[in-house]
Every structure is written in C-alpha cells, then in structure tokens.
Chain A
C-alpha cells in the first residue's frame, strides 16, 4: 500500500481524497444510525412489565453506529496524511461509473422488459461499448447467455424469473 502511495504522490494524479471519502461514508453511517435511533424512539426503548419494547435493542444498535462512525469521522478529520492520499483517481472513477451506470440502467431494464431480454441487450451493449467487439459477435454472446439462462431456469429447474412490466416474451407464449 505504502509503496503505491509514495509513487502516487510523486506523479500527483488527481482524484477524490481518502479523507473526503472517509468523511462522506462516516456521515452516511451516522445518518443511518440516526434513522435507527429515531425509529426506535418511536417504538419505545423502555422496559415494560412484559419485557423490553420493540425499539430497545435497535436503539443501542443505532447508538453504536453513531458513536463508532463519529470516532471514525474525527479520526479522518484529524488525519492530514489521508487528505493527500487518493481514494480513487478520476480516471478510475470514470471506469467504475462506466460499469455502474449501465448496471443501473440494466436493473431498470429488468423492471421494464424482464430479465431475459434486458440481459441479452445489456451484455451485447457492454461488449460493443466497452469491449470494442463487433455487432454480430456481441449480439450472439448476449443472446446465447440469455437463452442458456432461460432454458436452465424456466424449463429445466422450473424457477420463474421476472419478466418485466411490459413482458416482450409474452409474444412467444411465456
């Protein structure tokens, strides 16, 4: 790790600093912890005659999330070295987003047109766009994977998968 950091410092590639990422995640965790505490208070955190109320256990869980994240937050703020460390370079982040955003669109696609068709389209587009493959090869791979999955789940194991709000496979009777 340290080797990498020193070489990174020499070239100074720009990116999101580790400190910023630490602080963001710690704040996010504190927010979650706060939500847990808030809802636990609504449910009741006291001790009744028939035992603890529903919020009793989660209340302390939420409290622990907040406290431990607060410690991490303070540590991150005081840590000068982390401000110089790179959490992710912008170039790397771009690569990550190039996978993440299509993946999110893929999930949206599943919601609309179902797993099978969305998968075939997703694999083909991914191969053409990021893998620089030809149209034909990409479409063949995408459709082949999708058909394999269809045969395995729908026909062989009789596990029905999600077909979407607008099921295109209804045209062929599924």
Chain B
C-alpha cells in the first residue's frame, strides 16, 4: 500500500514537538473562534493567516487546519449550552443538544457531540488518505476544458443543492465572479472594472470579503437580537465521558450513514451546513426513536455533528487534489497555500509529497488532540461565553479590522470590509447565500483562464466542453445539477398529483 507508506512518512513530518504545540494552539484558537459570535472557521483563519507567514509552510498549514478542526468542535459548545449556534453547521445540534443541557445532561450531550465530530472527521480523513491521491493522479491528465468542467460542476452544485432561491444563488455567485474580474486581466494585462480608481488595481481580495461578510455581518445580525446569554454551566468528568462512550456504539448505523452523507456533501460543495440538516432529517425518519427527536436524545446530536465534521473535512479533498475548495474555509486554506507558493492541485501530490502527507497526517493527529482538548477545557470555554456581548462585539470588530488590514497592508481594505459587512447582513437576511459568492471570488480568475484557454484550443467552439467522455460527463453532471431544482419541483408536483 503506497498510501500507507506515504502516510507514515507524513507522520514523521508532522510529529515534531513544535508541530504538536502548534496543533494544540490551533485547536484552542479554533474553539475560541467557534464559540465567539462573529468569528468563524473561514474568517477566523483569514484573520490569523498573516501570523503564520514566518513559519515553515507545513507547520503553518497544520496550525491553520487545526484552527479549522477547533472551530468545528467549538460550534457544538454554544449550541448545546446556550442554544446559540456558534456556526451555521451546528444549528441542527441545538435541536436535541439544548434540551439535553436543560435536563442537566450537558456533559453527556457535549461528550456525544465531540465524539461524533471526531468519528465523522476520522472517517473523512481515511477517505482523503486513499481517495485524494487517486483523484490527483486522475486529474493530472486534465486540460483546460476538463478543469473548466470541474469549476462548472462545482458552481452548478451550489444551485442544485442550495436551499436558497436559485436566482439568488446565481446572483450571489455572479457577483463573486464580477468582483474577481476587477483589476488586471491576467491574459491581456488590461485594467478591468476599476473605473479610473487605481487603488482597485489589486482587485478585491477574497479574504477581505470573508472577514466582512461573515465577521461584521454576523455581529450586525447578532445585535438585532440584543443577545442575552442564558447559559448552562457544564462540567465534564471522566465518569460522564466513559458512561457516554458506553452508550454511543448502539448508534453505529446513524453514525455511519451520517459519515457517508457528510463526505458526499463535503466533496460536492454542499458544505457542512446542509449536510448536518440532511443527516438529522434522515436520522429522524429512519430511527425507531424518531418521534423523540427534538426532546433531547443523543442520537439527534450524533447525526448532525458526525455529518458536519465529515463534510468539513471532506471539503479539503477537492481543495488538495484539484485545487478547487469545497467550502469557504477550505478556500481560505487554499489562499494560504498560494501565499506560500504552493499551488494546490494534482501536481501538489507529485511535487510536494512531504507537505501533502504531513498535512494529511496532521489531520489524524489534530483531531485526536482536538478531542482531548475540548473534553478537558469545556468549563473554560463556557466561561468565555459569559463575557458580555458589549465587550466581545467591539473586540471582534477590532480583530476583524486588523485581519483585513494585514491581508495587503492596505487601509482601503478596512473600508471594504465594512461594506462587505453591510452586504453580508442584508444578504443573510434575504437568504442570498454567501458561500458561492466567496468561492466565485476565489476561483473566478482560474475559471475564466480555464474557459479562455479551452476556447482558444477550440477556436471559439463551445462544443469542446462535450468533446470527450470525461469532460462531457462532468459537464453533463453540472447541467443536471443546474436543472435539479426544476426536476425536484416536477417530481413533487407529480407526487402531489398521485396522492
């Protein structure tokens, strides 16, 4: 097994005291980001990115990915203790987690959530270990038309899988592409869409958009509620952990199903949020205790948490092997790799073996370290949540401003961050999705290049995108995704007529 050898080598890269320390710091920072309103996986990593510039790339990415694991863990804490989902993907965790906490079973609920997250992530990492090299090898044969078809599929999946109105998804996505086009055109060198404003020449950095849309937007949304925290104190001791672990194996079917749902939704960019809802819904329908869901049953925590973590982890597969991130957070990690001169994509597995396998090994280690840290530090994190919002909010805005400035050392970016914040607030309230906007902004230039190169090869003939079985089937799948809402509506209508 070539992968096992490579992975063992990866462990030797990742397992240094320095890296282990970074993992622990990363997890703690990540959980902090996850529990605080207005900071999340994507913008948290975006803000912390500049601090890792002085580290070696492997260590830096290990730390950043651990922040990501930490944020995934952290979302569950606020959901269960405060009924406030720290992250969108932990909304489904509140359904059964908060009732359990109210019944005085907060420790059990948290242990269930953390353990499920761990299992979901582990499942996805094992899948990445064996599948990512294959995908990368396969993708080495890709030309511009094939790459464009993968971009096409990625963006069509948003439309097909999204919960939001399709036209709003398209509008948000195209706005992302439009923002990506601002600045110097990489092919002709012409200035586009700057309207004589030369500071715009750099274009819009997606990190600024991420910090504004997710960070400032979230603070503005939270402010509407006035935010009164009413938390339960939580204590976890070894006895609760072991007793909970004894109960968990009986949910193995739910767990396995959630892992598969999560992986699928993570690779196709559905993302962790829909994965958690879908998994919860299916578990409710399939479980013999389905009618008890919502009143505080552990199975109702297992399903969404496992799926969310599996999806969050699986989103790194297309990022590493194709250079196409499956989620905004994966996109930020990708941005980090680019800054260190590492071009994610199929060649990464050939040219940067140490890096890739070190990162994959760190995913195993990071999740184990993460599980230990969150199980031991819950009281600490719960205490942080009791800091009043009127202190937390300005501090987070300050942190966001610093993060926005450090991306390009540009004052103007802080203003853009504020504008993106207002946009994010309005978009969230009107259910325009933010993820496709961010991904389009990240991938816009690459998608355009792939499109133009393909068109150059074919002398402007669009049929190149259906010229062989590979590109044709990926494009076909994309078109299927694009019209999926129509098919779904049609089927619902038919079913309605039959019933």
State in angstroms the CA–CA spacing of A38 and B473 once bound together.
Answer: 35
Asked if A100 is at the interface (CB within 8 A of a chain B CB), the reply is yes
State in angstroms the CA–CA spacing of A51 and B168 once bound together.
Answer: 32
Closest Cβ of chain A to B453, distance in Å, is 9
Q: From A138, which residue of chain B is reached at the shortest CB distance?
A: B391
Asked if A39 is at the interface (CB within 8 A of a chain B CB), the reply is yes
Q: B223 and A99: CB pair below 8 A?
A: yes
Asked if A57 is at the interface (CB within 8 A of a chain B CB), the reply is yes
Q: A107 and B418: CB pair below 8 A?
A: yes
Q: B170 and A64: CB pair below 8 A?
A: yes
Which of the residues A51, A64, A106 comes within 8 Å of B401, measured between beta carbons? A106
Which of the residues A65, A69, A115, A130 comes within 8 Å of B402, measured between beta carbons? A115
Q: A122 and B398: CB pair below 8 A?
A: yes
Residues of B within 8 Å of A99, CB to CB, are 219-220, 223, 393, 397
Closest Cβ of chain B to A132, distance in Å, is 8
Residues of A within 8 Å of B427, CB to CB, are 25
Q: A119 and B398: CB pair below 8 A?
A: yes
State in angstroms the CA–CA spacing of A116 and B409 once bound together.
Answer: 15
Q: B226 and A36: CB pair below 8 A?
A: no
Q: B429 and A88: CB pair below 8 A?
A: yes
State in angstroms the CA–CA spacing of A54 and B422 once bound together.
Answer: 31
Chain A positions 13-50 with a Cβ under 8 Å from a chain B Cβ: 18, 21-22, 25, 29, 32-33, 35-36, 39-40, 43, 47
Closest Cβ of chain B to A118, distance in Å, is 9
Kindly supply a per-residue 1/0 record for chain B positions 160-199, scoring 1 wherever the CB is within 8 Å of any chain A CB and 0 otherwise: 0000010110110011011001000101101011010000
Q: A106 and B390: CB pair below 8 A?
A: no
Kindly supply a per-residue 1/0 record for chain A positions 161-174, scoring 1 wherever the CB is within 8 Å of any chain B CB and 0 otherwise: 11000000000000
Kindly supply a per-residue 1/0 record for chain B positions 193-222, scoring 1 wherever the CB is within 8 Å of any chain A CB and 0 otherwise: 101000000000000000000001001100
Q: A162 and B411: CB pair below 8 A?
A: yes
Closest Cβ of chain A to B45, distance in Å, is 16
Q: A43 and B390: CB pair below 8 A?
A: no
State in angstroms the CA–CA spacing of A109 and B415 once bound together.
Answer: 11
State in angstroms the CA–CA spacing of A9 and B168 once bound together.
Answer: 26
Asked if A141 is at the interface (CB within 8 A of a chain B CB), the reply is yes
Which of the residues B181, B421, B456 comes within 8 Å of A58, measured between beta carbons? B181
Question: Which of A72, A96, A99 has the most CB atoms of chain B within a 10 A radius of its CB?
Answer: A99
Asked if B104 is at the interface (CB within 8 A of a chain A CB), the reply is no
Asked if B142 is at the interface (CB within 8 A of a chain A CB), the reply is no
Known: A51-B456, A57-B181. A95 touches B224 (CB 8 A): yes
Q: B190 and A43: CB pair below 8 A?
A: yes
Which of the residues B187, B394, B429 comes within 8 Å of A54, measured between beta carbons? B187
Kindly supply a per-residue 1/0 record for chain A positions 135-161, scoring 1 wherever the CB is within 8 Å of any chain B CB and 0 otherwise: 000000100010001000100011111
Residues of A within 8 Å of B402, CB to CB, are 115, 119, 149, 153, 161
Interface of B is mostly: helix
Q: B401 and A96: CB pair below 8 A?
A: no
Q: A106 and B224: CB pair below 8 A?
A: no
Known: A98-B223, A122-B394. A115 touches B401 (CB 8 A): yes
Asked if B381 is at the interface (CB within 8 A of a chain A CB), the reply is no
Residues of A within 8 Å of B418, CB to CB, are 103-104, 107
State in angstroms the CA–CA spacing of A47 and B51 once bound together.
Answer: 45
Q: B167 and A68: CB pair below 8 A?
A: yes
Asked if A110 is at the interface (CB within 8 A of a chain B CB), the reply is yes
Residues of A within 8 Å of B388, CB to CB, are 131
Asked if B143 is at the interface (CB within 8 A of a chain A CB), the reply is no
Which of the residues A52, A68, A131 comes within 8 Å of B174, measured between beta carbons? A68
Known: A57-B181, A161-B405. A21 touches B192 (CB 8 A): no
Kindly supply a per-residue 1/0 record for chain B positions 408-440, scoring 1 wherever the CB is within 8 Å of any chain A CB and 0 otherwise: 010100110010011001110110100000000
Residues of B within 8 Å of A61, CB to CB, are 174, 177-178, 181
Which of the residues B170, B190, B223, B224 comes within 8 Å of A68, measured between beta carbons? B170
Q: A22 and B390: CB pair below 8 A?
A: no
Q: From B219, which residue of chain A is reached at the shortest CB distance?
A: A99
State in angstroms the CA–CA spacing of A133 and B193 once bound together.
Answer: 46
Which of the residues A51, A65, A115, A132 comes within 8 Å of B405, measured between beta carbons? A115
Asked if B451 is at the interface (CB within 8 A of a chain A CB), the reply is yes
Closest Cβ of chain B to A104, distance in Å, is 6
Residues of A within 8 Å of B451, CB to CB, are 57
Asked if A8 is at the interface (CB within 8 A of a chain B CB), the reply is no
Q: A96 and B430: CB pair below 8 A?
A: no
Residues on A lying within 8 angstroms of B by beta carbon are 18, 21-22, 25, 29, 32-33, 35-36, 39-40, 43, 47, 51-58, 61-62, 64-65, 68-69, 71-72, 75, 87-88, 92, 95-96, 98-100, 103-104, 106-107, 110-111, 115, 119, 122-123, 126-127, 130-133, 141, 145, 149, 153, 157-162
15 CB < 8 A contacts A-B: A36-B181, A36-B193, A39-B192, A51-B455, A71-B167, A72-B168, A103-B216, A103-B418, A103-B421, A106-B397, A107-B414, A126-B390, A131-B390, A141-B391, A161-B406
Residues on B lying within 8 angstroms of A by beta carbon are 50-51, 53-54, 165, 167-168, 170-171, 174-175, 177-178, 181, 185, 187-188, 190, 192-193, 195, 216, 219-220, 223-224, 226, 388, 390-391, 393-395, 397-398, 401-402, 405-406, 409, 411, 414-415, 418, 421-422, 425-427, 429-430, 432, 448, 451-452, 455-456, 460
